[in-house]
Amino acid sequence: MPVLTPSPRRTFIWALSCVLGLMAQLSFARELRVVASFSILADIVSEVAGEAIEVESIVGPDADAHIYQPSVADAIAVADADIVFVNGFGFETWAGNLISESASDAVVVIATEGITPIEVGGSVDPHAWNSLKNGMVYARNIAASLSDIAPWLADQVNANAQAYVQRLESIDRDIARRVSRLPEASRTVVTSHDAFGYLAEDYGLTFLAPKGIDTDAEPTAQKLAELIEQLKNVDAAAIFAENVTSPALINQIALETGLEVGGRLYSDALSVRGGPAKSYVDMFRHNVDSILEALESGSARGSAEGRKIYGQPQLTAME
Ligand SMILES: [Zn+2]
């Protein structure tokens, strides 16, 4: 008669192999080395990857990725990485060299894959994350690439991505509803560099910036004068400094126009610990809340008073 019950020895070996297999998976999951090029992308990757995976950001919070110069530590992190996430659209001009010089065999994933870029003066605007709809594409791209490289994580990362996308959709609907209540003439926002084109397109806002889509070039006196002239013709405008650029230019425009600086927006990087933009979601909420608060108080003053605050531009300091 055959023995139907497994021997204790077989049961032990089976159990041992299960435990070892699970440990190997958990250990690999913990040791999956994930690098992202800048803090906003690192946060989206963390949301999708879940708590088990640590994500290292090359450009840290409050730092400017446009003009970043990678360190030796960055090259080591990239060399050791299993997967490297970059924004693409020409944002990280330094990333190609960093990856090739570190001789990394990491899988390189471009988070903007599938997004149609906005073009500004013939150049691609890299700031695609400033649209929540694009943030959703980032999350899906991240989930797909993590599932490829670590198939045992696929169920978890896909569930994380789905929940995250739903959260972004809900915030997106809420912002669209709030902006729709603003008068058309009260939707102008001034920032130092042109980082919010995607936000503008999503919600029908107008962003003006003395600098272009990069942070390194200073505007000419003529461009600044034109911007100030343009500001005289809108009923209400909000003006903001940014966490990644010097506030000097914005302070000067505020002085010339009589506009009050409405605070600081987080355009290309999260805030350091304790700041209002410690995650992509917090960053978006902070930016939109600050913009709407400034525009709502501007439009509440009415156009007559709104114009009065601009005064006459005095450009002597720039000439
Ligand atoms: Zn930028």
Number of structural domains (the chain) is 2
The pTM score is 0.84
Segments in 233-310 forming alpha helices (H): 248-257, 280-300, 302-308
Nearest to 190 by CA among 255, 108, 116, 275: 255
Give CA–CA dist 71/94, Å, rounded.
11
Question: From the CA of 307, how far away is ligand 1's center (Å)?
Answer: 30
Question: From the CA of 10, how far away is ligand 1's center (Å)?
Answer: 61
Let me know whether 45 and 155 are in one domain: yes
- The last residue of one of the domains, among 173, 199, 234, is 173
Structure tokens that stand for 201 in this block: 């397109």
Report which of residues 126 and 8 the model is more confident about.
126
Question: From the CA of 317, how far away is ligand 1's center (Å)?
Answer: 26
**pLDDT for the residue 22:** 54
Question: From the CA of 269, how far away is ligand 1's center (Å)?
Answer: 9
Question: From the CA of 171, how far away is ligand 1's center (Å)?
Answer: 23
Let me know whether 42 and 109 are in one domain: yes
**pLDDT for the residue 302:** 42
Residue range 76-115, pLDDT digits in tens: 999 999 999 999 999 999 999 999 999 999 999 999 999 9
Question: What are the counts of helices (DSSP H) followed by strands (DSSP E) for the chain?
Answer: 11, 10
Question: From the CA of 195, how far away is ligand 1's center (Å)?
Answer: 5
Residue range 9-56, pLDDT digits in tens: 665 555 555 555 555 455 444 479 999 999 999 999 999 999 889 999
What CATH number is associated with residue 246?
A: 3.40.50.1980
Give CA–CA dist 134/109, Å, rounded.
15
Residue range 133-165, pLDDT digits in tens: 999 999 999 999 999 999 999 999 999 999 999
Structure tokens that stand for 258 in this block: 């009589």
Burial of 8: CB neighbours in 10 Å, binned 0-12, 13-18, 19+: exposed
Task: Kindly state whether residue 8 falls inside one of the protein's structural domains.
Answer: no
* 3-state secondary structure (DSSP) of residue 76: helix
Residue range 159-216, pLDDT digits in tens: 999 999 999 999 999 999 999 999 988 899 999 899 999 999 999 999 999 888 888 8
Question: From the CA of 23, how far away is ligand 1's center (Å)?
Answer: 42
Across the beta sheet with 34-38, what order do the strands follow?
55-59, 34-38, 83-86, 107-110
Q: Are 7 and 134 in contact (CB under 8 A)?
A: no
Structure tokens that stand for 234 in this block: 């809108």
Question: From the CA of 216, how far away is ligand 1's center (Å)?
Answer: 10
- Strands 261-265, 188-190: pairing kind: unpaired
Q: How far are the Cα atoms of 53, 97, 150 from residue 83, in angstroms, in the given order? A: 12, 16, 10
* Sign of the dihedral defined by the CA atoms of residues 273, 246, 175, 55, in that order: negative
Domain that holds residue 238: 181-318
Question: From the CA of 21, how far away is ligand 1's center (Å)?
Answer: 45
- The last residue of one of the domains, among 173, 199, 217, is 173
Let me know whether 189 and 284 are in one domain: yes
Task: Kindly state whether residue 233 falls inside one of the protein's structural domains.
Answer: yes
| Residues 287-319: b if buried by 16+ CB within 10 A, e if exposed | bbebbbebbbebbeeeeeebbeebeebeeeeee
Question: From the CA of 67, how far away is ligand 1's center (Å)?
Answer: 10
Residue range 237-288, pLDDT digits in tens: 889 999 988 888 899 898 888 888 989 999 999 999 899 999 999 999 999 9
